[in-house]
Structure formats: C-alpha cells, structure tokens
C-alpha cells in the first residue's frame, strides 16, 4: 500500500486526501519514544480552506465546507460548485412556471376549480369535505380531498399565496415527485391529526395542513443551515412566520389547529429524514418513498382511529 503520510516535527499538521475529503491530522510525537505517539485526532476541514475545521457539508455532493464557502439553498446548504446554475441560467416567470413546476401549477388549478365548484353545488363540497363520522366509516379519501376545498376567498387566497411563494423553489430543489408526495403526505397527516383531536363529529376543509407541511420542511432545512449568517437569518424568518401562523387559532375562530400541527410535524419529520439520506442517482425515488411511507402511516391512523 503506498505511504501517503509524511513525518513532521512536533506540533505540525499533515493533510491527507481520502475519497475527495481532506482531514487535518495532528501528530504529537513523544520526544522520548517516537514509537509510541499519541492517538491521531481527526476533524473534517473545508475543501477550499484546509486550515478551517468545519461541521458543515454540502447537501448536494457531501464535501465539507466552512461558513464562508456555504451557499444557502431551499434544502440545506451547498458548496460553491453545486450552487452554480447548470447550463444557461434563466429567469422563472409566471409564464413558464407551469413547465418548471408542474405539481405546484396542478395543485393551484385543482384548488381553484374545486372552490368554484363549491359555489355552484353543495353536494360537491359534502362529498369531499372531511367529516369525521364519514372517515370513521371508511371514507379515508376525505382526509386528502378536503385539502382542495376552502371556506371563502380569504381562506383560499392565503393558502394559495403561500403555496405560490414556497412551492416553486421547493419543487425545483426536491423534484416534482418528492414534492407531490410531501404535499400529499402532510395533507393526510393533518387530516389524521384532526381525526384524532378534532372531535367525533368534527368537520374540516382547507389546504392548511399541507401548507404547514411545507413550513415544517423549510424549518427542518433552515435549522440545519443556521450556522451561517444567511442561514441563521432564514431560520429566524421561518420561525417568525411559524409563530405567527400558530397563534392564528387564538385570534380567528373555527381554525382547525389540529391539522396545522399534524402537517407541520409530518413535514419536519420528512425533511429531517431526507437530509440524512445519502445523495445518489435515485435520491428522488428514495425521497418519494419516505413521504409515501408517512402518508401510509396517516392512513393507518385513519383506519385505527
């Protein structure tokens, strides 16, 4: 095996390249007996600044990065290379958003169509709303379809505005399939929480569970990237928005806070798992599977509740 270590004097540092990751190794040589050196201490260092130990790593490629080399992303942080635009950079506008973020576009369209249908037919709303007695009788689809119904213009306007702001960047970062699974899983988790804590005859509608699921995912991602100045600022903004929205049930009556908390917890849990997963060519498939597993757990709750 080739010897890639170089002996140095007492207190000096050598660097070793291993699988693309540089680590600093400190050798403290015993002046009496150099055959019994102290154990080698290792710690990751920034791949661009080998003299800077760091606990951060790029969520795209896994290279260790220092705060100066960290670029905040919608999910975690990236190194300088991974944060560069691939190919020709282009501006995403409302005109081409339908092709770049198809899931967000479809959700927006379905929600608006459903809201218009509610105004023309009470039967339509009655067939899709989450009415807990019906869910207990086996109509589990109501836990999901209720996320496309809304009570009034303010209700749908607020939820769809947040989806319009948060959704596109998340879908482009995560991929369309994982984003769709995240949205559906958190909607179901919100419905399951309302089923458990909303009363035996409770009724609820709205996308708030899924919207809070997006907030939960962003909270988990920004929590991991809070070690940089920009990351800390983003984390504080997310926490402020969450605190404001979680206080709404104390001010506005008839808000299904149970669905909010259920979606929030599911979104944060899914993102925490995603951030722990290794990168690879099938990471999108793996992310989708994790979100679908959470959706399955929500349905199990619906069956057993």
The per-residue DSSP string of 174-198 comes to: H-HHHHHHHHHHHHHHHHHHHHHHS
Pair 138, 172: CB distance under 8 Å: no
Please state which of the ranges 13-22, 247-256, 265-274 shows the lowest mean pLDDT.
13-22
Per the listing, tokens 């606990």 go with 55
Tell whether the model's pLDDT for residue 19 goes beyond 90.
Answer: no
What pLDDT, in 10s, does the model give residues 97-107?
556 899 999 99
CA 49 to chain centre: 29
Domain range list for the chain? 13-78, 97-304
Of 208, 204, 205, nearest in space to 163 by CA: 208
How many angstroms separate the CA atoms of 154 and 146, rounded? 17
Tokens linked to 40 = 């080698």
The beta-strand segments (E) located in the chain are 13-18, 21-26, 41-44, 56-57, 64-65, 71-72, 77-78, 130-131, 203-204
For 198-256, where are the alpha helices, taking DSSP H only? 208-224, 229-251
Fold of 97-304: Rhomboid-like fold (1.20.1540)
Per the listing, tokens 């905040």 go with 72
Chain mean pLDDT for the chain = 82
CA end-to-end span of the chain, whole Å?
61
DSSP code, position 39: P
* Catalytic residue list: 208, 260
> Could you tell me the CA-to-CA distances from 267 to 7, 140, 214 in Å, in that order?
50, 20, 6
Q: Who contacts 96 (Cβ-Cβ below 8 Å, separation ≥6)?
A: none
What pLDDT, in 10s, does the model give residues 139-167?
999 999 999 999 999 999 999 999 999 99
User: How would residue 93 be classed by pLDDT, with cut points 50, 70 and 90?
Assistant: low
Tell whether the model's pLDDT for residue 208 goes beyond 60.
Answer: yes
């Amino acid at each position: 095996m080739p010897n890639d270590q170089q002996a140095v004097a007492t207190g000096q540092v050598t660097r070793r390249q291993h699988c693309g990751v540089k680590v600093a190794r400190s050798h403290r040589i015993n002046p009496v007996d150099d055959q019994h050196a102290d154990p080698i201490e290792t710690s990751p260092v920034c791949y661009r600044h080998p003299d800077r130990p760091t606990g951060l790593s790029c969520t795209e490629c896994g290279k260790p990065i220092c705060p100066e080399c960290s670029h905040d992303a919608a999910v975690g942080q990236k190194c300088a290379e991974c944060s560069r635009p691939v190919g020709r950079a282009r501006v995403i506008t409302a005109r081409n958003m339908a092709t770049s973020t198809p899931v967000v576009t479809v959700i927006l369209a379905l929600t608006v169509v459903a809201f218009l249908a509610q105004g023309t037919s009470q039967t339509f709303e009655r067939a899709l709303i989450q009415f807990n007695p019906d869910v207990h009788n086996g109509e589990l689809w109501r836990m999901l379809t209720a996320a496309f119904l809304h009570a009034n213009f303010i209700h749908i306007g607020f939820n769809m505005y947040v989806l319009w702001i948060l959704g596109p960047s998340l879908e482009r970062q995560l991929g369309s399939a994982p984003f769709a699974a995240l949205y559906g899983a958190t909607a179901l988790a919100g419905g399951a929480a309302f089923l458990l804590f909303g009363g035996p005859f409770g009724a609820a509608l709205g996308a708030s569970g899924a919207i809070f699921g997006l907030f939960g995912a962003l909270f988990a991602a920004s929590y991991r990237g809070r070690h940089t100045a920009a990351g800390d600022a983003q984390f504080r903004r997310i926490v402020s928005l969450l605190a404001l929205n979680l206080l709404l049930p104390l001010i506005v009556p008839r808000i299904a806070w149970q669905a909010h908390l259920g979606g929030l917890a599911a979104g944060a849990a899914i993102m925490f798992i995603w951030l722990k997963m290794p990168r690879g060519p099938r990471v999108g498939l793996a992310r989708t599977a994790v979100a679908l597993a959470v959706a399955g757990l929500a349905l199990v709750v619906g069956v057993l509740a």
